[in-house]
Amino acid sequence: MSLDDLALTPRLLVALDFDGTLAPLVDEPLTARMLPEATDAVAALVAAPETTVAFVSGRSLADLRHIAEHDDESAIVLAGSHGAQWWHPRGMVQDEAEDAVGADAVATPTLAEETLRDELREAAEAAVAGIDGAWIEPKTFGFGVHSRLVDPARAADAHARVDALIADRAPGWRRRVGHSITEYAFRDEGKDTAVARLRALTHATGVLFAGDDVTDEDALRSLEPGDVGIRVGAGETAATVRVADERELAGVLRALAHRRTSARE
């Protein structure tokens, strides 16, 4: 299906990765912000008829809310930790028990999971301590190893050290590789399951998903006939559309919002 066709679908879901898709990649993760063009495009989609916008990210929910400058009045659905954590506007989820927790539908680790997570984070920090620029990012269900600031000649060593640690002490944890990061988690959710849940929640008749990284390919491969996948930047992809960067994607999203709104007038 083309973007023109998708604009006419009765109920549209627009699910978007955040880092590298709406916001440029940065050295300090919590300083990431959407490009102004992306902010405007997302706002136009939120205002379009029968359209739901969701951010689907590997970030913890708290960090995603921070960088997205997302508040309790927002209509944008959030899927954090690759879909293990959720924020949705009240009333969106029909299950009263889940909706009763308010806007934050947050999964929390057990004490045993927290204990192992924290022990492994400390061990990972020790493992990369001698590699300048390498650092460990805490996540709700695990952690990430960053090498964006590491000398390229040593980056592989940083990841290999933590790979060995996890293989020895937590071989059942899920491993994901992204731009200068390796993530480890004891939860198995992926962006494909997040998109499937969003599709069911919104009763979407068509889905657009856009992302820039290897972890986004799970969602892109899961799309159905009638959906549209967009890959931002280079790399092998299952997407049917490719754009060069965040700015070009913002233009595509803005055009989609305009077509959808114009078609309903």
**Pair 195, 158: CB distance under 8 Å:** no
17 given a catalytic annotation: yes
Question: What's the chain look like in SS3?
Answer: CCHHHHCCCCCEEEEECCECCCECCCCCHHHCCCCHHHHHHHHHHHHCCCEEEEEECCCCHHHHHHHCCCCCCCCCEEEEHHHCEEECCCCCCCCHHHHCCCCEECCCCCHHHHHHHHHHHHHHHHHCCCCCCCEEEEECCEEEEECCCCCHHHHHHHHHHHHHHHHHHCCCCEEEEECCEEEEECCCCCHHHHHHHHHHHHCCCEEEEEECCHHHHHHHHHCCCCCEEEEECCCCCCCCEEECCHHHHHHHHHHHHHHHHHHHC
Chain position carrying tokens 């856009």: 210
Instruction: Kindly tell me the burial class for residue 209, based on how many C-beta atoms sit within 10 Å of its own C-beta (0-12, 13-18, 19 or more).
Output: buried
**Among the options 4, 17, 63, 71, which is catalytic?**
17
- Tell me which residues are annotated as active site: 17
